[in-house]
């Protein structure tokens, strides 16, 4: 009798353990949030963890470095020369500039492991994280913190348009479907605040870059342009367009959005990731072309993707709601 009781207890324990293991296997996620199924996020920070297998880590002799294709990549190659030298000194690696020509190319290069360190424009950060395995580390900022940018909708002062409502039936230049300030934000805001839908209430054109939209409005190619105000400021500073007061009317301006996020490929070896992070945070901007190009900034500051880019994710959701209304 005693042996039978013991046997039953043992069988119960085995069954309980098997059930517990089965339950554990059932709750183990196959996809983490919005991340592509190829990525894992066990620490819950919404970005991909380094591969569990160290054989998949990247520790290249040469780091490939890129900046978002907001404007002419050739112009910015010179701007980042000094920082790339600093990055070489901090990591012991060579650094090679990669001139990306589109957001899609940039994200694909990151996903394929060909791009190691990069800055992604705010509107593409979500896609870069979820699809490309991008790990945001820092943003440009100042002693007061994040500087960011605003989405603006501009028209030529000779157009006769002075309000958003005046854009009905007109052509608005957007940057690309993956741009935040150049598409997702204005598209969502135009519907949320003014109940205006693309194609129904206004015509859509894609210029490819913020500076193309600005130049297009200035030259009369578009009735309006949805842009990042910081790009306009840099174009004015570089004498690429005249003082806005001479030719432009601002018909809408948003709240401040986070700027370009800088970071690494999730496969970069953790020790090398730490060195790259230190390179960003220790860089001295004084007297550099970066300071000249972005005078409102004087340092890189840490960024939290989950918290700091919540607003851009919300805009994306709003833009997707518009898509549903349009049957896209």
Among the three residues 217, 233, 257, which one is the final residue of a domain in this structure?
257
User: Do both 220 and 292 map to the same domain?
Assistant: no
Residue with tokens 């607003």: 311
User: Do both 176 and 245 map to the same domain?
Assistant: yes
User: Do both 201 and 294 map to the same domain?
Assistant: no
Alpha-carbon span 181 to 121, nearest angstrom: 9
User: Do both 136 and 270 map to the same domain?
Assistant: yes
| Domain-embedded: residue 131 | yes
| Domain-embedded: residue 36 | no
Average the pLDDT over 74-97 and give the result: 95
pLDDT of amino acid 11? 43
User: Do both 178 and 263 map to the same domain?
Assistant: no
Question: Using an 8 Å Cβ cutoff, are 103 and 121 in contact?
Answer: yes
pLDDT of amino acid 5? 45
| Domain-embedded: residue 106 | yes
User: Do both 67 and 90 map to the same domain?
Assistant: yes
Residue 304 in tokens: 């939290």
Question: Using an 8 Å Cβ cutoff, are 248 and 154 in contact?
Answer: yes
Question: Using an 8 Å Cβ cutoff, are 156 and 218 in contact?
Answer: yes
Among the three residues 221, 240, 257, which one is the final residue of a domain in this structure?
257
| Domain-embedded: residue 49 | no
The count of structural domains within the chain is 3
pLDDT of amino acid 14? 42
User: Do both 233 and 164 map to the same domain?
Assistant: yes
Q: Which helix (H) or strand (E) holds 228?
A: strand 224-228
User: Do both 241 and 265 map to the same domain?
Assistant: no
| Domain-embedded: residue 79 | yes
Q: Where are the alpha helices (DSSP H) in the chain?
A: 2-27, 73-79, 81-91, 103-111, 122-130, 185-194, 210-219, 229-237, 244-247, 270-282, 289-293, 305-308, 310-326
Contacts of 255 (CB under 8 A, 6+ apart): 150, 311
80: closest CA among 291, 298, 297? Answer: 291
User: Do both 92 and 165 map to the same domain?
Assistant: no
Higher per-residue pLDDT: 71 or 257: 257
pLDDT of amino acid 30? 61
Among the three residues 257, 287, 304, which one is the final residue of a domain in this structure?
257
Average pLDDT score over the chain: 89
Question: Residue 12 above 70 pLDDT?
Answer: no
| Domain carrying residue 237 | 150-257
pLDDT of amino acid 122? 84
pLDDT of amino acid 126? 93
| Domain-embedded: residue 228 | yes
Min mean pLDDT across 4-13, 63-72, 135-144, 191-200 is at 4-13
pLDDT of amino acid 7? 45
| Domain-embedded: residue 284 | yes
What is the CATH number for 65? 3.40.190.10
Question: Using an 8 Å Cβ cutoff, are 266 and 39 in contact?
Answer: yes
Question: Residue 246 above 50 pLDDT?
Answer: yes
Average the pLDDT over 307-318 and give the result: 86
Angle (CA) 42-57-280 rounded to 5° is 85
pLDDT of amino acid 20? 46
Helices 122-130 & 310-326 angle (0-180, nearest 10) = 90
| Domain-embedded: residue 277 | yes
pLDDT of amino acid 181? 80
User: Do both 246 and 266 map to the same domain?
Assistant: no
Torsion of CA 310, 316, 319, 324, to 10 degrees: -110
Higher per-residue pLDDT: 138 or 100: 138
Question: Using an 8 Å Cβ cutoff, are 290 and 84 in contact?
Answer: no
Question: Residue 32 above 70 pLDDT?
Answer: yes
User: Do both 206 and 155 map to the same domain?
Assistant: yes
User: Do both 137 and 270 map to the same domain?
Assistant: yes
């Amino acid at each position: 009798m005693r042996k039978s009781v013991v046997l039953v207890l043992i069988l119960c324990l085995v069954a309980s353990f098997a059930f517990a293991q089965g339950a554990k296997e059932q709750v183990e996620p196959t996809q983490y949030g919005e991340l592509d199924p190829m990525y894992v996020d066990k620490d819950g920070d919404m970005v991909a963890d380094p591969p569990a297998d160290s054989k998949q880590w990247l520790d290249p002799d040469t780091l490939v470095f890129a900046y978002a294709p907001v404007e002419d990549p050739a112009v910015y190659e010179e701007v980042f020369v000094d920082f790339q030298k600093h990055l070489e000194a901090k990591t012991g690696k060579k650094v090679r500039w990669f001139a990306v020509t589109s957001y899609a190319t940039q994200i694909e290069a990151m996903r394929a492991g060909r791009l190691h360190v990069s800055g992604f424009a705010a509107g593409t950060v979500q896609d870069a994280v979820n699809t490309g395995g991008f790990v945001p580390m820092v943003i440009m900022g100042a002693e007061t913190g994040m500087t960011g940018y605003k989405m603006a909708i501009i028209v030529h002062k000779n157009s006769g348009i002075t309000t958003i409502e005046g854009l009905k039936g007109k052509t608005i230049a957007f940057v690309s479907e993956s741009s935040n300030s150049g598409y997702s934000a204005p598209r969502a805001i135009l519907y949320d605040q003014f109940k205006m839908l693309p194609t129904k209430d206004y015509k859509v054109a894609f210029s490819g870059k913020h500076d193309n939209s600005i130049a297009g409005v200035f030259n009369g190619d578009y009735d309006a342009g949805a842009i990042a105000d910081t790009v306009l400021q840099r174009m004015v500073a570089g004498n690429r367009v005249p003082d806005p007061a001479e030719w432009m009317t601002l018909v809408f301006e948003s709240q401040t959005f986070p700027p370009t996020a800088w970071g690494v490929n999730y496969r970069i070896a953790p020790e090398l990731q730490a060195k790259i992070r230190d390179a960003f945070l220790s860089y001295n901007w004084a007297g550099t072309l970066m300071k000249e190009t972005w005078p409102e900034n004087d340092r890189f500051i840490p960024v939290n993707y989950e918290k700091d880019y919540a607003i851009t994710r919300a805009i994306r959701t709003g833009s997707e709601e518009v898509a549903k209304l349009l049957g896209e």
